[in-house]
Structure 1
Amino acid sequence: MSYSDEYTEQILKTVNKASFLLSELHRSGPSFGDTIQSIISASRLEEHAEVSRFAEFVYSIVEALNSGGLDPNNEDVKSVISSALAEIIDIIKNNRHAADPKIEARMKVILRSAKSDERDYVFNKILKVLYVDEDRFAQSNIQKNIDKSIQIESCFSGEAALQRLKTNKFDAILCDLKLTNPDISKIFAEYSAKIPLIAISTSDDPRLVQLATKTGALDFITKNDTGVRRLPKSLHTVTTEWVKRNKLSNISQLLENPNSQKILKYFVESDLPIKQKIDCEVMYDWKSNDAIKDMNAVLESLVKAGYIIKEPTELILSCPKCNSRNIRLHYLCQNCNNSDFNKGDVLEHNKCGYSGLEDKFKDGDALVCPKCRKQLKLIGVDYFKVESAYTCAKCSHFFTTPELRYSCNACGHDNFRISDGKWTELFTYRINPDKITKIKQTIVSLSPIKNFLEEKGFLIESNVNPNLKYTTATKFDLVARNQDQTILLIILGSDIEENFSKIVDLDTVSKTMPGRISKYAVIFSEPREVTRSLLKRFGIVPILVENVNNILEKFKEKYTENVKLELL
């Protein structure tokens, strides 16, 4: 059987992606495994058993790497995987139907050298799983053989499972794939978007696997010994990836929030921190005309997501009763708690012991004791002087520091000392330098470029796939069309794998479109060598934008250069 054009194109693209990820294997293990799995799935659907079987050896090596059974820095492991990927390309291009047995033998040697502990996956959590299956033998078999890290709750009908899902919380659902049963279909339809769901079946038909994934299953388990052994790892992997995916989704929503974008744009453009300050209540020295509603909540969300850094600045006193910072300070006489006193320098006559404010001793140009009427001439001999003291108007008591008492404007709690109050910490917020590229990617506005191209007669679209005949995961950030030219623009961040997918999709789509195609990529820092090489290889013009406010200027430079080159 020959390989179809569609299958060939898909496999070659996927193998190229896998070869790219191989260079970052220590960080891209799970993504690399998913890429190999897509080769296996496509080969099964096209019934190319030899390619599927050969790729399964590669996938087994990847699983051993992910579980710690093999060292991802081992050059022999990388070498055999690289050889296997090259062999898959050679099989497809030369229409072969048998793999090189020497490479297969090398992969078997690598797998035998892996740690033999079958339970090589680290489980950090005990999962509560609802297992829906009317097959009582399968239920019993899984209950007997399942790992201790999985708590199975059995359900023998879809109707009972739907009731239990309404009242109980589960980490995952394991469900027999009988979609002809309306209750089972309802579980897949209603809960696959809410809880990680794994399909289980007695059949391993690839078309059934494809059906399961289309209905929302994240994995497919066969009811045999291998499937039961793989089940704990599958459940833990699926739930872990589910949590990660939801976290990324939450972060994406946070970054798309207009208030988040205002704050992040302020950080990038001003290069200033935001400090909390007190004006009865906690305020922010927000040097911008854009008002932010519930600024504290937005800042804390960005801190939690790792985009800004929160640092303690100072402590302030709060009401011990209601925690309000809206408190008033009272200055009192230390003797009678009266708040009526005068400030001045205090003199004390050594001979008679009288003391009072200096003004009371003044008699013309001389100093005369008001009590005994003796003239004071020499300081330290006739009298002593205490600078900046206070005299109570009520009891005439002298003191150098007033008694401090507080009252709360919010709840009315009165006359409490500093030792009675509660302390509240104020913070300064700064941008996380490790996230600056991602932040620029999020906040950058392409409106100036859109306006520039519209003035030149282009029709503009944003976040679209420009070719309905070729579907990609990438939505291009800007597509501009006129009668004979299409401009495609993407924004690249710091994620190597995401950049690779965007670049490859951009090149693939551009080849299927009519007319003259110009390709641009906006980057915010000097790209890594691998990204630079890919951009050059696919003829994509890089636009380095270190200051987001200069994006139009930088685009005009590259656009003008590109137009001149195209005219030559």
Structure 2
Amino acid sequence: MLKTGKRERLELYKDRNTQVLLNKFISGEIGELEPVYDCKLGYRYPVVEAIVGDASEAEAFLNRLYEAGVLERRLYDKIIYCPECGSANISIRYCCPYCKSFDITRSALIEHVKCGYMDVEENFRKGNKLVCPKCHEELKKEDVDYRKAGVWCSCKDCGKSFDIPVTAHFCRDGHTVFTFEDAVIKDVYAYRLREEVKEEAAVGWFLIAPIRDFLVENGFEVESPAFLKGKSGANHMFDIAGYKGTKEKVTVIDLATS
């Protein structure tokens, strides 16, 4: 990763909220942080909300950790919001492609293998038996006497039949009906701690923080992380640099775990 990315991460490790969340990952309390669905608010991260103290800041907090390379994420779901009121309390309606009514029925299509007759299951049903309406032969075994050939829908409003309904969304709060073209769709993620930063994170606050505090208490000015220019003119990064009064004599510390 880029040094600028590491610098951002080391700054984040100083933040108490970051420390609390990462401790949950490192301790094994959280393996993967998954969102929790709320029918009114959409997806939430209650664990993070409890840490940052403000539900509206939870996603921004996680995004900062992701962009700094501390967390990795995977697409968990996509959530639909009403384009009028922003509610996540949305239902899906399967509608007639002709009149757009959602008052439709769905039936299984059955084909009698022997005579080739095809119709909806209701027209084959005779009590608890399936009987072909054309040749009147009883159909006993699926994929031998008959096969299911798909589904067939009928609209109770206009009376037309069709195989594939169209989809619409209904906002239960604002009572707005809208289609895919107008829907507000948002990606929702689950998060994990990146394997390559587990050691870095542990060093970042379990080891660096107390050393930094010790130096400050003893009169040092401390930079962490610190970037110092070497004799060649190149910048070098260290976990901690401490000095008193002048930067001509600098104590630098790099930490590693094994």
Whole-Å separation in 2 of the counterparts to 1:473 and 1:331: 67
Q: Does 1:440 align with 2:198?
A: no
Structure 2 partner of 1:282: 43
Structure 2 partner of 1:307? 70
Aligned match of 1:263:
21
Task: Write the distance in 1 (CA, Å) between the matches of 2:65 and 2:214.
Answer: 28
| Superposition map of 1:102-501 within 5 A | 252=11, 254-270=12-28, 272-276=31-35, 278-280=37-39, 281-284=42-45, 292-293=52-53, 294-310=57-73, 312=75, 315-322=78-85, 324-346=87-109, 357-363=120-126, 365=129, 367=131, 369=133, 375-377=135-137, 386-409=149-172, 412=174, 414-444=176-206, 463-464=213-214, 471-473=219-221, 497-498=238-239
Answer with 1 or 2: which has the greater Rg.
1
Any conservation in 2 of the 1:311–1:427 contact (CA below 8 Å)? Answer: yes
The 3 A distance-change label for structure 1 pair 466 and 263 is closer
Task: Provide the rounded CA distance (Å) in 2 between the counterparts of 1:317 and 1:466.
Answer: 50
- Structure 2's unaligned 5+ residue stretches are 140-145, 223-235, 244-252
1:249–1:392 Cα change, 3 Å: closer
Letter in 2 for 1:272: G
Structure 2 counterpart of 1:274, which letter? L
| Residues 285 and 344 (structure 1), Cα distance of their counterparts in 2 relative to 1, 3 Å cut | farther
CA distance in 2, matches of 1:250, 1:385: 57
The one of the two structures with greater contact order (alpha-carbon pairs below 8 A, sep at least 6) is 2
Q: Is there any run of 5+ residues in structure 1 with no aligned partner, and where? A: 1-26, 28-243, 446-461, 475-494, 503-520, 527-568
Residues 218-257 of structure 1: CA distance to partner in whole angstroms, max 9, x if unpaired?
Answer: xxxxxxxxxxxxxxxxxxxxxxxxxx9xxx79964x5444
Contact 1:274 1:285 in 2 (8 A): no
Q: Secondary structure at the match of 2:93?
A: strand
**Closer, same or farther: CA 396–499 of 1 in aligned 2, 3 Å:** same
Distance across 1 between alignment mates of 2:158 and 2:18: 58
Cα deviation 1:313-366 (Å, max 9, x = unaligned): 5544433345554422112233443434443323589xxxx9863233334656
Identity of aligned residues (%): 21
Amino acid of the residue matched to residue 71 of structure 2? I
1:525 maps to 257
Q: Secondary structure at the match of 2:178?
A: coil
- Displacement of 1:375 in angstroms is 3.8
Instruction: Report the RMSD for the aligned CA atoms in angstroms.
Output: 4.8
Aligned residue identity for 1:407: F
CA contact (8 A) 1:265 1:443 kept: no
Cα 1:432–1:360, aligned 2, differ >3 Å: closer, same or farther?
closer
**TM-score, structure 2 as length reference:** 0.57
Q: For 1:409 and 1:366, how far apart are their aligned partners in 2? A: 40
| Maintained 8 Å contact 2:153/2:162 | yes
- The number of residues matched between the two structures is 214
Which secondary structure state, in structure 2, belongs to the residue aligned with residue 404 of structure 1?
strand
Deviates most, 255-264 or 356-365: 356-365
Residue 310 (structure 1) shift: 4.6
Name the structure with the higher strand share.
2
CA distance 1:467–1:423, change in 2 (3 Å): closer
Residue type matched to 2:109 in 1?
Answer: V
Contact kept in structure 2, 1:251 and 1:305, CA below 8 Å: no
